[in-house]
Amino acid sequence: MATLEVKDLHVEIKEEKEQTREILKGVNLTMNTGEIHAIMGPNGTGKSTLSQTIMGNSAYHVTQGDILLNGESILDMPVDERARKGLFLAMQYPAEIQGVTNAEFLRAAINARRPEDDQISVMDFLKELDKNLALLDMSEEMTERYLNEGFSGGEKKRNEILQLLMIKPSFALLDEIDSGLDIDALQVVSKGVNSMRGDNFGSLIITHYQRLLNYIVPDVVHVMMDGRIVKSGDADLAKKLENEGYAGLRDELGLDV
């Protein structure tokens, strides 16, 4: 079992004129492999900031607290090292990379997590790739295209899940993988994530809407508001939020945000 712990995490960003602003104001979260956690919350509340900070984006400055993977602080590790340790981030806005095909990227990413004397063979890679393309209802042609270049919004999201299935991280941070997806694509993406469920996989699913959580049923739901997790519960909490809205929860908790 692997564990990801976020402890009293405070994060600042630099705005114009070197002004700093605190975005995360003491986030606590512990998750183990075998579990799926969801983070819900209004826009601008710090959900993407949390996922970017866990992954190691240097635009986000940790001023207090820690992030531990299996008890070891990862704060000083660059992004690629965090990835090698088993973290994966599917971004809200995936980047395009020119000159690298999707397949090349995937193979390099898989091999980066394996020792030098145990790189994946071309045969095994293609077998795994075919299996996952079929699961996600994606055409082989997608893998020969440059990474995310000219991909539609839905194709990008599917491709993020293809990466997830191929790289097999211990923990996947999925930031609004549901945004802009029609119901068919949503089902496919959910099928991909659900196929990863098991003792060696944990996921933190960030979403603005409850809809996704009908397909990927979380073990724990956290609500983030104004840079803090203000409430945690089971899957029913997401349904309650859908009915009562964030305003209802604000009132209930007596929050002034």
Q: Could you give phi then psi for residue 190, rounded to 5 degrees? A: -65, -40
What is the nearest approach in angstroms of ligand ADP to the Cβ of residue 95?
A: 14
The option from ligand ADP, Mg ion, none interacting with 49 (CB < 5 to 8 A, set by class) reads ligand ADP
82: Cβ contacts below 8 Å, ≥ 6 apart? 54, 55, 56, 69, 74
CB of 73 to ligand ADP, least distance (A): 22
Q: Which of 19, 43, 58, 121 binds Mg ion (CB under 5 A)?
A: 43
Residue placing its CB nearer to Mg ion in the complex, 179 or 200: 179
If phi > 0 it is left, if psi is from -120 to 50 it is alpha, else beta; for residue 21 that is: beta
CB of 133 to Mg ion, least distance (A): 28
Q: Is 207 in the site for ligand ADP (CB under 6 A)?
A: no
Candidates 38-46, 95-103, 152-160, 212-220: pick the segment binding ligand ADP (CB under 6 A). Answer: 38-46
**Kind of pairing, strands 60-69 and 228-233?**
unpaired
Give counts: helices (H), strands (E), the chain: 9, 10
Q: What are phi and psi of 189, to 5 degrees?
A: -60, -40
Residue with tokens 């004129």: 17
Q: Are strands 202-207 and 171-175 parallel, antiparallel or unpaired?
A: parallel
With contacts defined by CB under 5 A, name the span among 42-50, 79-87, 93-101, 180-188 that binds Mg ion. Answer: 42-50
Considering only 6, 38, 40, 41, the residue that binds ligand ADP (CB under 6 A) is 41
Q: Of residues 9, 27, 36, 45, which one binds ligand ADP by CB under 6 A?
A: 45
Residue closer to Mg ion by CB (options 4, 23) is 23
User: Where are the alpha helices (H) located in the chain, listed in sequence order?
Assistant: 47-55, 79-84, 102-112, 122-135, 141-144, 153-167, 183-196, 212-215, 235-253
**45 vs 159, beta carbon nearer ligand ADP:** 45
Stretch that binds Mg ion, among 1-9, 44-52, 61-69, 110-118 (CB under 5 A): 44-52
Which pair of tokens denotes residue 105? 């990227």
Residue numbers of the site for ligand ADP (CB under 6 A)? 13, 15, 23, 41, 43-49, 59
User: Which stretches of the chain bind Mg ion, using CB under 5 A?
Assistant: 43, 47-48
